[in-house]
Amino acid sequence: MEYVNLGRTGLKVSRLCMGTMNFGWTAPEENAYQVFDAFADAGGNFIDTADVYSRWVEGNPGGVAETYIGRWLKRRSMPRDKIVIATKVRGQMGDGSNDEGLSRKHILDAVEASLRRMQIDTIDLYQAHWFDADTPIDETLRALDDLVRQGKVRYIGCSNYPAWRLMEALWTSDKLGLARYDSLQPHYNLLHRAEFERELCDVCKTYGLGVIPYSPLAGGFLTGKYRKGEPPPAGTRGAQSKRIQGLLAKDANYAVVDRLRAMGQSRGKTIAQMALAWLLASPVITSPIIGVNTVEQWNELAGALDVKLSEEEKKELGELSKWE
């Protein structure tokens, strides 16, 4: 396993980050423990979660993935300093009027709940899950700065911020002398490039933010499980997700998959491994967030770490997936 700094910070994180959105949703608790064990045994030290996971499942109050992390740390007797834990705040966690958002009240309530669920004293990376137009950015950042000063949070970051809001946050931190966002978690993959590359990429490079992209396999499209002209297999996300169905409707996306398949065959690698390798080849990318249900899936994706794309291959994939 390779390790890199999280942006301009001195924090070392593994080149792949284990995402947990699926735990308690498509993967049961025991699978989560098995995956965490395999990830840690391979040298992985970076786990990303959110308090709202998996609140969308009927009967699930949220916080399930965080609870699994806490139980796993105790079950494995994992030294706390060996794992970098990132979680997020913003989503609705109750029926009250202040049970969501990035207000001072919600942040201070939410961090205590996350710490209890994970049975830890400090969160390594605490992230604003998405922006909150109803709360002034200085209120959000002052609350997060207080958590850093109290030792409850070590670093702060954000997710799903447009470039202008990210710049507003960085400027506010600089002006007021507050802790600043040191990472961005964007939606980014070979088939979803414009949102990040148009402006956010330059912001991250200029100001030294770590980049932790989610959905690196485009919701499973970049595994090759979907076939052109055929309906999505029953039980897959493509059978339900309008976003993935939009990918299925574009012929150009299948051309990207076909080229990844051909590049992989010469190396004995899968389509998914090649898609991850494309992200890992970018100097601005810190650690793609992967989501797996089984140890077998983790073992496959870990195989991307030793793939080195040539400049010609990167250029070809860039042309096939270019955006206007």
Catalytic residue annotation: 53
> Token digits for 102?
């990035």
Closest-CA residue to 107 (of 123, 89, 120): 89
Q: For the chain, what is the total number of helices (H) and then of strands (E)?
A: 12, 10
Quick check: 158 and 127 in contact, CB under 8 A?
A: yes
As a whole number of angstroms, the distance between CA 271 and CA 259 comes to 9
3-state secondary structure 119-142: CCCCEEEEEECCCCCCCCHHHHHH
Tell me how crowded residue 164 is: count the other CB atoms within 10 A of its CB. 10
Quick check: 33 and 41 in contact, CB under 8 A?
A: no
R_g over Cα of the chain? 19
Of the chain, the end-to-end C-alpha distance in Å amounts to: 36
Quick check: 155 and 125 in contact, CB under 8 A?
A: yes
